[in-house]
Amino acid sequence: MTDQQDSRGELAPVLVVIPTYNERDNLGPIIKRLHAALPEVHALVVDDDSPDGTGQLADELAAADPRVHVLHRTEKAGLGVAYIAGFQWALERDYQVVVEMDADGQHSPEDLGRMLDALTRADLVIGSRYVPGGQVVNWPKSRLFLSWGANLFAKIALGARVNDMTGGFRAFRRATLEGLKLHNVASQGYCFQIDLGWRTIEAGFRVVEVPITFTERERGSSKMSGDVIREALIRVTKWGVRRRLTQLGLLRRR
């Protein structure tokens, strides 16, 4: 056991929350990779009633492996709602670290060990595409430009010293989630990640970025839409204006 692994002792057990909607082809391989990289972690599949049978496959995986758990939801309510449900499930149990990870293979489970190592000196670790050592593989230039632009806009509007505010590969300490007002988070998609990151920063928690390799999905289709982009633009602009008015003393800090 390395010194880093030993220092992780207080940060166990770990739960990886994996939201799914029509990810049947991806779910089995990603959980296999997760447990090959970190055999001790647990996974919670939060399935939004996928019509392709993802939920049924998740049940089969859970029946065969006590490290796999399933939370069935009755409708497709969005990424943010699924993650909040997963966080609440974890907080009702003894998990000390809760991780966000996509089911589609874009987040490499092999990077999670370094993120957990960094969590020994942070309250939230973001797997970042946009710090030295981070990279994006096989994305079209248009999608990369959109992501880079969204992160730059959020960074400037919010004054946040985080390069990948939209990144969805994250590790939270239990105390961090307990210190956030999760009950009134209504954001989705890109905006959900910015929302939670900004709440964490505003609450005074320590945020660290760790470089990761982000790879475009090989199977299935992206859930990105124009509505998700518009939501992020509107909400981040609103938060940025509120921040500036607060700095000028024209608005009381909440």
The dotted CATH code for 3-247 is: 3.90.550.10
- Could you give the C-alpha distances from 176 to 167, 181, 200, in angstroms and in order? 18, 10, 7
Q: What is the pLDDT of residue 253?
A: 65
- Could you give the C-alpha distances from 2 to 5, 112, 117, 118, 185, in angstroms and in order? 5, 16, 11, 14, 38
- Give CA–CA dist 157/241, Å, rounded: 8
- Give CA–CA dist 232/130, Å, rounded: 19
Residue 122: pLDDT band (50, 70, 90) is: very high
Q: Examine the pLDDT at 1 and tell me if it is beyond 50.
A: no
Helix (H, G, I), strand (E, B) or coil at 105: coil
For the chain, the residue count is 254
Query: What pTM did the predictor assign?
Result: 0.90
Convert the pLDDT of each residue in 37-88 to its tens digit: 999 999 999 999 999 999 999 999 999 999 999 999 998 878 899 999 999 9
- Give CA–CA dist 125/207, Å, rounded: 6
Q: Tokens for 201, please give them.
A: 């920063």
Residue 249: pLDDT band (50, 70, 90) is: confident
* Domain coordinates in residue numbering, the chain: 3-247
Among 86, 253, 224, which residue's Cα sits nearest to residue 166? 224
Q: Tokens for 57, please give them.
A: 């496959």
Strands 14-20 and 68-72, bridge-based pairing: unpaired
Q: Tokens for 245, please give them.
A: 């008015």
Helix (H, G, I), strand (E, B) or coil at 123: coil
Q: Tokens for 239, please give them.
A: 């938060």
Convert the pLDDT of each residue in 4-30 to its tens digit: 555 667 899 999 999 999 999 999 999
- Give CA–CA dist 234/212, Å, rounded: 28
Q: What is the pLDDT of residue 93?
A: 98
Q: Tokens for 141, please give them.
A: 């230039």
Annotate 74-95 with DSSP letters as a single string: SS---HHHHHHHHHHHHHTTT-
| Helix orientation angle between 189-202 and 141-158, rounded to the nearest 10 degrees | 30
Q: Examine the pLDDT at 221 and tell me if it is beyond 80.
A: no
Q: Tokens for 129, please give them.
A: 């595409």
